[in-house]
């Protein structure tokens, strides 16, 4: 071995007049001192990455578990004809769409793989759209088991009523807050997701389709709603000959709009320009029945029952 001048024998010069015990004690003391001062300084320089603060609610707790569980519930229990679908892959594709990404730069492209894995065909004439009538429209398809709203499709079922977003500086979900579509940005993971899946739901629709509208509010037909902004513009006229609208009024509530309102005429004109026939009916009986189940005493329900 070449003598480089740092062999242990040479380096270990007898030091000071301390006993071995004292030297060990001093060593430990210095170590503790270094650790105690260095760690806080390092932590101060490199704080744990903190998520940015947004104005919308954070990711729903247990989001990955909920998505995976709903996927299995849907494909194994509710619609077993889809039991071949790979829920592990589907849930992974969902997470990959937004994790480690800037939550204000979300794009429909991010969800392509999820959309591909959850491709689901339903029979013609079974698509039900809704706007401002969330609860009633879903009561309707719950009874009419053969009809489908977007939330009755696998992809909509998995995400219904959940919040989610990530952060480009972290591979975790942001459980504290997520971008609000109006106060922060419209290109957030959740809004982009619903636009993407709504567009596909409309594109895939065939036969006569239906929409449940809310006649008890001022914006019965809202051009800024998902229905007015995305869905009606993505129906294929070659596949969808007719859209049937049901304008429903709350039992005992106000009638802001009906089929003869100018608002509804707007909808009719948009569809006419797209070569899709439009029909409209106020308080469609099969849906009115459902409203009357919980309002059976109301006079307007006498003629229905
Ligand atoms: C979805 O499935 C249909 C038929 O099952 C098929 O024609 C279509 O190409 C599929 N779309 C995608 C994006 O995989
Ligand atoms: C109409 O909208 C109001 C306010 O959101 C809601 O309370 C009501 O249940 C809706 N009515 C129908 C028929 O969907
Ligand atoms: C739709 O939204 C845009 C932007 O948020 C707004 O400027 C416009 O007034 C809205 N239009 C309607 C009809 O509500």
Whether 116 is in the pocket of ligand 1, judged by its Cβ within 6 Å, is yes
In this structure, the dihedral spanned by the alpha carbons of residues 11, 13, 15 and 19, taken in order and rounded to 10 degrees, is: 100
Residue 145 has pLDDT above 60, yes or no: yes
Per-residue pLDDT, 11: 46
Residue 72 has pLDDT above 50, yes or no: yes
**Pairing state of beta strands 177-178 and 56-57?**
antiparallel
User: 179-216: per-residue pLDDT in tens?
Assistant: 999 999 999 999 999 999 999 999 999 999 999 999 99
Compute the distance from residue 254 Cα to the ligand 2 centre, in Å: 11
Compute the distance from residue 181 Cα to the ligand 3 centre, in Å: 13
Cα gap 89→119, rounded to integer Å: 13
Residue whose CB lies within 8 A of the most ligand 1 atoms, among 90, 111, 121, for a mutation test: 121
- Atom 7 in ligand 3: residue holding the nearest Cα: 224
Cα gap 146→167, rounded to integer Å: 39
Compute the distance from residue 248 Cα to the ligand 2 centre, in Å: 9
Mean pLDDT, rounded, for 39-57: 68
Q: How far is CA 72 from the centre of its chain?
A: 17
Q: Which atom belonging to ligand 3 lies closest to the Cα atom of 182?
A: 5
Binding-site residues, ligand 2, Cβ < 6 A: 132-133, 136, 214, 216-217, 248, 250
Whether 224 is in the pocket of ligand 3, judged by its Cβ within 6 Å, is yes
Residue whose CB lies within 8 A of the most ligand 3 atoms, among 182, 218, 224, for a mutation test: 224
User: 270-301: per-residue pLDDT in tens?
Assistant: 999 999 999 999 999 999 999 999 888 888 88
Helix, strand counts (H, E) of the chain: 11, 6
Cα gap 277→120, rounded to integer Å: 26
Contact 223, 264 (CB under 8 A): no
Token reading at 191:
């809004």
Residue 45 confidence class, pLDDT cut points 50, 70, 90: low
Hunting for tokens 């992809």 — which residue is that?
155
Q: Which of 91, 88, 98 shows the shortest CA–CA distance to 170?
A: 98
User: 225-254: per-residue pLDDT in tens?
Assistant: 999 999 999 999 999 999 999 999 999 999
Q: Which of 267, 268, 130 shows the shortest CA–CA distance to 202?
A: 130
Cα gap 293→305, rounded to integer Å: 9
Residue 159 has pLDDT above 90, yes or no: yes
Compute the distance from residue 200 Cα to the ligand 1 centre, in Å: 11
Domains of the chain: 51-118+153-204 (1.20.82.10), 121-149+205-305 (3.40.50.720)
Q: Which atom belonging to ligand 3 lies closest to the Cα atom of 224?
A: 1
Compute the distance from residue 216 Cα to the ligand 2 centre, in Å: 7
Q: Which atom belonging to ligand 2 lies closest to the Cα atom of 133?
A: 14
Per-residue pLDDT, 184: 97
Note the maximum CA span of the chain.
108
Token reading at 1:
């071995």
Write out the catalytic residue numbers.
124, 206
- Atom 9 in ligand 1: residue holding the nearest Cα: 119
């Amino acid at each position: 071995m070449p003598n480089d001048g740092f062999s242990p024998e040479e380096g270990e010069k007898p030091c000071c007049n301390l006993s071995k015990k004292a030297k060990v004690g001093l060593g430990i003391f210095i170590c503790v001192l270094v650790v105690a001062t260095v760690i806080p300084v390092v932590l101060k320089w490199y704080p744990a990455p903190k998520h940015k603060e947004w104005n919308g609610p954070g990711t729903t707790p247990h989001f990955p578990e909920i998505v995976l569980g709903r996927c299995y519930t849907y494909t194994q229990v509710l619609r077993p004809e889809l039991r071949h679908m790979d829920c592990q892959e589907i849930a992974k594709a969902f997470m990959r769409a937004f994790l480690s990404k800037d939550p204000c730069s979300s794009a429909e492209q991010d969800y392509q793989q999820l959309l591909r894995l959850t491709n689901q065909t339903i029979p013609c004439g079974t698509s039900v759209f809704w706007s401002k009538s969330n609860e009633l429209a879903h009561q309707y398809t719950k009874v009419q088991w053969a009809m489908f709203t977007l939330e009755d499709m696998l992809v909509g079922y998995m995400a219904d009523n959940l919040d989610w977003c990530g952060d480009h500086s972290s591979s975790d979900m942001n459980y504290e807050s997520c971008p609000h579509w109006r106060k922060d940005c419209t290109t957030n993971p959740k809004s982009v997701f619903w636009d993407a899946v709504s567009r596909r739901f409309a594109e895939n629709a065939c036969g006569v389709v239906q929409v449940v509208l809310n006649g008890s509010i001022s914006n019965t037909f809202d051009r800024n709603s998902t229905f007015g902004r995305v869905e009606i513009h993505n129906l294929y006229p070659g596949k969808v000959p007719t859209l049937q609208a049901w304008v429903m009024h709350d039992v005992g509530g106000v009638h802001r709009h009906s089929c003869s309102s100018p608002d509804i005429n707007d909808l009719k004109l948009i569809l006419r320009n797209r070569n899709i026939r439009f029909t409209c009916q106020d308080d469609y009986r099969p849906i009115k029945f459902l409203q009357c189940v919980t309002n059976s005493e109301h006079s307007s329900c006498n003629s229905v029952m």
